[in-house]
Amino acid sequence: MAAFRFCEICKQEIEADRAAANAETRLCKRHAEEIKKYGGEFTPEPKEERTSKPGSIKINYGGGISVSLKRNTEGVERLRDDYLLEEE
């Protein structure tokens, strides 16, 4: 069984089904929906894969494209600011 995790914004427990579906999430369902206005919790970073040997002068591309997800820290900060203003 996974440990409980809490939302970075409201400090409420992240729903079990959401945590199971996305192990990297730090937002509850409500705030995951709200952060979409700032680009989402994660932003994709595509990178063209190289097939050349490390250190080779010749650079071969064509291995495809890999995509990694980067946490949208700026979006999370903006959402946190919105939440704090709402609480006042």
Q: Which residues pair with 66 in a beta bridge?
A: 47
The whole-model pTM stands at 0.74
Q: Span 33-41, mean pLDDT? A: 95
- With 80 as the cut, is the pLDDT of residue 43 above it? yes
**pLDDT mean over 17-36:** 93
Please check whether residue 11 is in contact with residue 83, taking contact to mean a CB–CB distance below 8 angstroms: no
Q: Please state, in angstroms and rounded to a whole number, the distance separating the CA atoms of residues 52 and 16.
A: 43
What residue segments make up the domains of the chain, in order of their start?
Answer: 16-87
Per-residue confidence (pLDDT) for residue 52, from 0 to 100: 72
pLDDT band of residue 61 (cuts 50, 70, 90) is low
Candidates 4, 10, 5, 6; CA nearest to 79 is: 10
> Hey, how many other C-beta atoms are within 10 angstroms of the C-beta on 14?
22
Quick check: 72 pLDDT over 90? yes
